Amino acid sequence: MSPSLVRRGNKRGWSKINPDLKIGAKKHKIMPQNNYEYFLLMPQIIIGIGIVLSVIIEISTKKSEQILPWFSIAVFFATAFYSVFNINQNSVLFGGMIEVGGKPAIFNFIFNIGAALVVLSSMDYLKKYGTYFGEYYILIQSSVLGMMVMSGAKDIIMIFMGLELMSICFYVLAGINRKKLSANEASLKYFLLGAFTTGFIVYGIALIYGATGTTSIQNLEENFVGYSSNIIFILGMILFLIGFSFKIATVPFHMWVPDVYQGSATTVTSLMSTTGKAAAFSVLIIILSAVFSSNAPNVFSPYFATISALSMLFGSIVAISQNNLKRMLAYSSIAHAGYMAIGLAAGNVFSVAGIIFYLAAYAFMNIGAFTVISIVEGDNDSRTDLNSFAGLNAKSPVLAATMALFMFALAGIPPLAGFFGKYYVFIAAIQSKLTWLAILGVLSSVISVYFYIRVVVYMYFKDATEDFKINVSPYSLTAVVITALLILVFGILPDTLMNVITSALK
């Protein structure tokens, strides 16, 4: 990065945090500006310290696998709530490198709460899965740190750093049980395609830098219209967007999704498919911030409209023929990425709020669904088929009821959170005169209803075909109940979440 850029950013950063600085200065009279910036960066620092402490715990005690989950949950909650309580302290730190408060804060909240729920559901699952050791939690914490760097990035280099931190943790997490063939396959596939994707992204960054002479997002936002006529810039952007289209799992860059989601540990899948997707979307929102603040025409709208339409239809249609629930949810994840991409294609102020709401709702629905699967799942990847869910209502009414709730929410039946996610992006689409995309969206919703309610059919309308007992772990059940309640609350009172999001976007 050029030194001049750093200086330029510095000035801007100074002026932005100046009012707050006075308060800080009173308390710590001799504190220079840089230390105050560290103070604002607290969420990232909390989790960073958490990682270091986790490593120390892992080294020093033999009971680490019992301590670490609770420790990570504490870290995640601390980070989540610190972020949300300081949501109005929006400022850009370290010479225009990273943004705190505002939009990153709401994303941090989604990442951390999501990760905390995943950890909660992992505790007993890992024993069953055969990877009952502490590194798992350290890797989850590191990946969350990566996501937080991504969502706060104000420089393309920061985006890349965060992305790599997150992705590498995911590669390892996917194959965390090295004795399992499916997990190895998932990990290797994920890694190879991920590395390939990284190539796209780096090439894109190089072209963007070549065209603009800077990697600052701020600069990109201000001069987006001017750059838009530059073919090299557009090419770079498209490479960059393609790279992230891999990460959000949209057609035609979806090939890795089913195998990776099916092969990985169920809890890892629930982390990758929700928070990982949210992180990738946060980057797309950042890179297109000029479009969303309506400073620039949305030149990439056709691109997003295409991948969105393809993903919705492909995901929904292919999911119909899946018998494995994890694989079905993988295709449903592709479809949902398509719905969210409607918001990117619409590219107005409303759509950012819509996408974030959708991501939050999707995170809770999907984590809930995967947690139920992880409870029902047996040893060696068994019992993830639809057949294993037959007659679940008789075996465990609570699990069946919550799973039905998750399925209805994913299908977008009101008044559940998933419905409002769709509702918001459809509004954004119609405001941007993309009614055809909204119509495609509802049509694929109708298709998707079929496979979501098929799960309900098995749980409620059919009798059990396999005879097994379900050991409902209290921790996993807590995670399921929490997600179910959140879906109900955000569905019946969507303003509770929407108000936070809109206040963060101001």
Partner 1 sequence: MEQNLLLAYLLLTPIIGSVLVLFFKQEQKQLIRWFGLGISLIAFVISLVVYFGFDQTNSQFQFIHQVIWIKSLNISYRVGVDGISLLLVLLTTFLTPLTLLSTWKAIEKNVRMFTFSMLFLEVGMLGVFISLDIFLFYIFWEAMLIPMYFIIGIWGGERRIYAAVKFFIFTMFGSLLMLVAIIWLAVYASSLVGHFTTNLIELYKVGPTIPHDIQSWMFGAFFLSFAIKVPLFPLHTWLPDAHVEAPTAGSVILAGVLLKMGTYGLVRFCLPLFPQSSVQFAPIISILAVIGIIYGALVSMVQTDMKKLVAYSSVSHLGFVVLGIFAMTVESVQGAVIQMVNHGLSTGALFLLVGVLYERTHHREISFYGGIARLVPLYSTVLMIAMLSSIGLPGLNGFIGEFLILIGSFKSSVLNSWWFTIFAASGVIFAAVYLLWMYQRVVFGEVKNEELKHELTDMNLREMIMMVPILVFIVWIGVYPSTFLKLTEVSTQSILQQVGTFTGNLLK
Q: Which residues bind partner 1 (CB under 8 A)?
A: 408, 413-415, 419, 423, 426-427, 430-431, 435, 438-439, 442-443, 445-446, 449-450, 453-454, 456-457, 460-462, 493-495, 498-499, 502
Tally of CB atoms within 10 A around 5: 18
Q: What is the largest CA-CA distance in the chain?
A: 72
CB-wise, 14 or 436, nearer to partner 1?
436
CB-wise, 7 or 495, nearer to partner 1?
495
Contact 87, 102 (CB under 8 A): yes
Give whole-number Cα distances, 94 to 8, 27, 32, 281, in Å: 11, 21, 13, 23
The CB-of-275 to partner 1 minimum distance in angstroms stands at 25
Give whole-number Cα distances, 262 to 4, 267, 298, in Å: 48, 11, 36
The CB-of-328 to partner 1 minimum distance in angstroms stands at 16
Distance CA 166, CA 245 (A): 16
CB-wise, 287 or 438, nearer to partner 1?
438
The CB-of-443 to partner 1 minimum distance in angstroms stands at 8
CB-wise, 188 or 447, nearer to partner 1?
447
CB-wise, 399 or 427, nearer to partner 1?
427
CB-wise, 379 or 463, nearer to partner 1?
463
The CB-of-9 to partner 1 minimum distance in angstroms stands at 34
CB-wise, 375 or 438, nearer to partner 1?
438
Full DSSP string of 334-373:
HHHHHHHHHHHHH-SHHHHHHHHHHHHHHHHHHHHHHHHH
The CB-of-449 to partner 1 minimum distance in angstroms stands at 5
The CB-of-502 to partner 1 minimum distance in angstroms stands at 6
CB-wise, 176 or 427, nearer to partner 1?
427
Distance CA 278, CA 107 (A): 8
Give whole-number Cα distances, 436 to 53, 305, 344, 432, in Å: 52, 10, 15, 11
The CB-of-213 to partner 1 minimum distance in angstroms stands at 40
The CB-of-438 to partner 1 minimum distance in angstroms stands at 5
Distance CA 315, CA 335 (A): 4
At residue 455, what is the residue type?
A: V
Q: Give me Rg for the CA atoms of the chain.
A: 22
